[in-house]
Amino acid sequence: MEEVMGVINLSNDRDQLNELTFHRSSASVPFGGRYRLIDFTLSNMVNSGIRDVSVFISNKYRSLMDHLGTGAEWDLDRKRGGLFILPPSFEHTSSPFKGDLQHFQDHIDFFYRGQQKYVILTGGNLVANMDFRPAFEYHQVSGADITVIYKKLDPDLDDDQSYRKMEIDEHRRIITIENESNRLKSNKSSLEIYIIEKQLLLDMIHTNTENGKYDFLQHCIIDNLHQLKIFGFEHKGYAVKIDSIESYYRHNLKLLSESHWHNLFSEPGPIYTKTKDEPPAKYLDGAEVSNSIVANGCLIEGKVENSILFRGVKVHKGAIIKNSIIMQKSEIGENTIIENVILDKEVFISPERKLIGTKDKPLVLGKKSMI
């Protein structure tokens, strides 16, 4: 995989994560007790043997930059190559964002400088533990111009609306991909992971931007379905896109099934993230925890059931937490009851409160809320 450069393109992650993305990009939304969404894609790239990864960031990226740092946690702090974080160029922060191709064009040198012959292009909000190597091998063997990784939707797991569905003929050639309209009756949905030869990508960037076309999906893929050999490669494992509060809530709580937890975090490779000097979680007198995921630095004196606690959460005596997701450093006061709730970071809930959402519509409190 030395011939592949990784590009994580955050310019067009669709998200309706509301409160959770007021202050951050969807790629840096916390997930699974100690991760950020981008950790999955980034770890997949590294575990697949990719050594150069660039992240095209578009806005609200303070927390993402903080998280990624030098890339050391992913072993991407290299003298040559490694991690590149590429913000939008200055001129265009004052004008409306035209599209990801403009962003690529602004950093075209990055593509020229890389020694690699191929590019793997992904978004930043897919939760999966995936080896890209089989898809890359397929790409080379099949003679495809572009390979798109897709999965078959699972009615129990997936929300139709979130995915761009596609049709594929018997030679695995893609005939249609939805852009926005959600009209196709197909169970195949694009995971928006593209493998493409760098020269072709550069060519498409130049031609399109010169003609005022700036959308990778529309102008490079959809418009070329008939001219280029654009093939699909099926990913058979678990992969979910997190782009709404509902999918965020549902897929987090799905991790409470142990086999799920195990598969997502360890196979085929480990998921790396920024580590912290948090002490082990401490269970005090009165702690009652079951069927939950707990990160380090937590102090638990209350009851936690069917929930996910991120690092450094405090649960005081008599508090009851059920079916909830509590992010870093939030604090739950004594005898407070919380059910079907998502608390963003550093939320403080005073004693004796009752916060109850529903399974379909969890209650969400934004970062640093105090109640």
Residue pair 357/341 in contact (Cβ under 8 Å)? The answer is yes
User: Letter for the amino acid at 27?
Assistant: A
Would you say 24 or 34 has its CB closer to another protein? 34
DSSP string, 66-91: HHHTTSGGGT---SSSEEEEEPPPHH
Would you say 177 or 309 has its CB closer to another protein? 309
DSSP string, 16-68: B-GGGGSSS-GGG-EETTTEEHHHHHHHHHHHTT--EEEEE--SS-HHHHHHH
Would you say 39 or 52 has its CB closer to another protein? 39
Q: Tokens representing 243?
A: 């782009």
Shortest reach from residue 69's CB to another protein, in Å: 12
Shortest reach from residue 316's CB to another protein, in Å: 12
Give the interface with another protein as residue ranges (CB under 8 A): 32-34, 72-73, 258, 261, 265-266, 270-273, 275-297, 299, 308
Residue pair 170/182 in contact (Cβ under 8 Å)? The answer is no
Would you say 174 or 347 has its CB closer to another protein? 347
Shortest reach from residue 331's CB to another protein, in Å: 13
Q: State the Cα–Cα distance between residues 194 and 33, nearest whole angstrom.
A: 29
Interacting residues of 300 by C-beta distance below 8 A, sequence separation 6+: 281, 282, 283, 284, 287, 289, 294, 309, 313, 314, 315
Shortest reach from residue 277's CB to another protein, in Å: 4
CA end-to-end distance (rounded Å), the chain? 50
Shortest reach from residue 82's CB to another protein, in Å: 16
Would you say 73 or 158 has its CB closer to another protein? 73
Would you say 212 or 268 has its CB closer to another protein? 268
Shortest reach from residue 257's CB to another protein, in Å: 10
Residue pair 174/167 in contact (Cβ under 8 Å)? The answer is yes
